[in-house]
Amino acid sequence: MDKFDLIVIGSGAGMHVAFQAAEEGWSVALVDQGPAGGTCLNNGCIPSKMLIHSADVIRAIEDARNVGVEASVDRLDFTKIMSRMHNAVEKTRSELEEAIEAKRGLAWCRERAEFISDYLLKAGDRTLTAPKIVIASGARPLVPPLPGLEAAGYLDNISLLDLKEEPKSLIIIGAGYVGCEFGHFFSAMGTDVTLIGRSPRVLDNEDPEVCQIVREALSQHMQVITSHEVVEVELKRSKKVVSARNLADGKIHQFEADEILLAAGRRPNSDLLRPERTGVETDEHGWIKVDDYLETTKKDIWAIGDAIGKHMFRHTANYESWVVSHNLLRAKKRDEMEKVDFHAVPHAVFTHPSIAGVGLKEDDARAIGLKVLVGRAKYTDVAMGRAMALEHGLAKLILEEETGRILGASVVGSMAPELVQQIVYLMNTDDQDLTPVMRSQVIHPTINEVLVRAFSELEHPYHREEQSH
C-alpha cells in the first residue's frame, strides 16, 4: 500500500491543489487515467476555441458586406485548421507533463482510480491511501439510450477532434452550448448542418431574448429544429437517419446526414470512481455532494469542478481549487475556512453571435420574488455598434430595485464575453452597484458604451408589460 498525505483525483483544476500541497512539503499522489490537463485542455475549451476562431474569421469576412466590403473565402484548409489545434494542445500538454514529472513530492499515477474502502483507492495494480483526498474527476459526454445510435455510430466533442475532413452533412443532437458552438464551426466549414433540440429554445438556459436572437442568426447558416425529441437512429443507404418526435403534435420527422454529433449533455464519472465506498454521497444524478466549503459528506474529502455538477466551467473549477487549497492547507479551524461564492459566475458560448452572461436572468430574479429593474440596449443604439453594423447585439442588465445591486447580465453579440466580464468586476465590488460606471469616462466611440446605455435605460419590467398591453 502506498501512503500519501494527499491524493488528488484528476489533473484538470485538481492540478492546482496538487501543486500547492507539494509546495507545502506534502507527499501527494496525482491520479488520472486520461491525458494531463483534464477536459479543458484536451477536448474542451482550448481545442474547441482554436477551431471556432477559424469559423469566426469566416463569418467576419462574410459579414463585411454589411459595411460595404465585398470579400469571400477562396479556400479552406481543414487539415491545417485541425493540425493547428492539435499542435497547440499537444505543446501545452507536453509542458504540463514535464512540470508534473519534475515536481518534488508529487507522484503521478496514470491509471483509472476507484475507491475500494475508506480513504482507500485502487489504481491499476497500486493501492493508494491518504487521510485527505480531493476529487476532481470531471465528467464525460452523456449518451442517451437511443435505439440504433451505437450501431449507426456518432461523434462527440472528443472524437470529432480526430476528423481528417469535414463531413458534407451533419445532424447535431442537442441545442445547448456544445451543439451551438460546433454548429457554428461546421456550418462555417461548409457542412450542411441540422441542429435538433428538445427544448422550445436553443440554449434554453439563457435569457429568452438572447435565445431568440441566436436562433435567428444560426438559422441563416443551418437548419434549426426545436421542440423535437430524437427517438431513433438508423443507417439507410450509407446515410445516418435520425427520427425525431415533434413535441407539439407528436408527429415523427426524419432527418438524414453523413454524420451525427451527439451533444446531449454531460454525466459525472462517479460511476467509475465509486465514491460511495468511502462514504461520499452523490445526488440522484451522480454528482458529488459538497457543502459551502466544498467538503463532501466524508470528512477531509473534498470535491471540485465538473464532478460536483454545479457550474461546469474551467474558470469556476480554478476558483474552487483555490478555495479547497486554502481550506485544506491553511485553515486550522472551521471559522478560518473560505466559503464558495457563486453569486457572480460568468460564462460564455462561442457561437455566432457570441453570448455571455453572469448572475441572475430577469425571469430567475422575478421567480424568487425580487423586485428588479431591467436595462436594455441594442448594439446599434451606440455609435460603434452602428459603425460595425452589429444588428444582432443586445445587452441586458438586471438590478435589484430596492438596493441597486447588480444581479446579473446577459449579452449577445460581438465581444459579448469581454463586455460581461466588466459586469463581473462590478458585481464583486463592495456595493455591487453601477457607481463605478457612472463615475467613469467611457472611451467614445467604443462598444463599451452599450453597457452605459443599458444602465441608463433602467426600468421596472412590470411597467414595460403594462405598456405592451
Nearest Cα residue to 240 out of 156, 169, 161: 169
User: What is the residue-level pLDDT of the chain in tens, covering all 469 positions?
Assistant: 899 999 999 999 999 999 999 999 999 999 999 899 999 999 999 999 999 999 999 999 999 999 999 999 999 999 999 999 999 999 999 999 999 999 999 999 999 999 999 999 999 999 999 999 999 999 999 999 999 999 999 999 999 999 999 999 999 999 999 999 999 999 999 999 999 999 999 999 999 999 999 999 999 999 999 999 999 999 998 899 999 999 999 999 999 999 999 999 999 999 999 999 999 999 999 999 999 999 999 999 999 999 999 999 999 999 999 999 999 999 988 889 999 999 999 999 999 999 999 999 999 999 999 999 999 999 999 999 999 999 999 999 999 999 999 999 999 999 999 999 999 999 999 999 999 999 999 999 999 999 999 999 999 875 555 454 4
CA distances from 321 to 15, 98, 135, 293 (A): 9, 21, 10, 11
Cβ atoms within 10 A of the Cβ of 402, count? 10
Q: What is the pLDDT of residue 237?
A: 87
List where CATH 3.50.50.60 sits in the chain: 2-141+267-336, 149-264
Q: Tell the residue number behind the cell numbers 472528443, with chain if given.
A: 158
Q: What integer pLDDT is reported at residue 461 of this predicted model?
A: 77
- Angle at which helices 14-23 and 314-329 cross, to 10°: 30
Burial of 32 (0-12, 13-18, 19+ CB in 10 A): buried
What integer pLDDT is reported at residue 469 of this predicted model?
Answer: 43
Residue type, 37: G
> What CA–CA distance (Å, rounded) separates 56 from 185?
8
Encode burial over 123-141: b for 16+ CB neighbours within 10 A, e otherwise: beeeebbbebbbbbbbbbb
Spell out the residues 6+ positions from residue 281 whose beta carbon is closer than 8 angstroms to its own.
Answer: 288, 289, 296, 297
pTM of the model: 0.95
Report the chain's C-alpha Rg in angstroms: 24
Secondary structure (3-state) at 28: strand
What is the DSSP annotation of 114-157? EEEETTEEEETTEEEE-SEEEE---EEE-----TTHHHH--B-T
Q: What is the DSSP string of 394-427?
A: EEEEEEETTT--EEEEEEESTTHHHHHHHHHHHH
CATH superfamily of 353-468: FAD/NAD-linked reductase, C-terminal dimerisation domain (3.30.390.30)
Joined together, the cell numbers standing for residue 20 give 500547492
Tell me the three state secondary structure of residue 193.
strand
User: Rounded distance, CA 106 to CA 100, Å?
Assistant: 7
Which sign, positive or negative, has the C-alpha torsion 193, 194, 199, 202?
Answer: positive
Buried b (16+ CB within 10 A) or exposed e, 143-175: eeebeebeebebbbbeebbeeeebbebbbbbbb
Helix (H) or strand (E) holding 113: strand 113-117
Q: Is 331 helix (H, G, I), strand (E, B) or coil?
A: coil
- Which CATH number is 149-264's, of 3.50.50.60, 3.40.30.10, 3.20.20.140, 2.60.120.260? 3.50.50.60
pLDDT at position 30 is 98
Domain 2-141+267-336 matching CATH 3.40.50.1400: the answer reads: no
Task: Output the pLDDT for position 465.
Answer: 53
For cell 443599458, name the residue: 454
Scan for cell 451533444, then name that residue: 263
Give me the DSSP letters along 355-367: EEEEE--HHHHHH
Coil vs helix vs strand at 162: helix
Dihedrals phi, psi of 284, to nearest 5 degrees = -65, -15
Q: Which residues of 315-324 are buried (b: 16+ CB within 10 A; e: fewer)?
A: ebbbbbbbbb
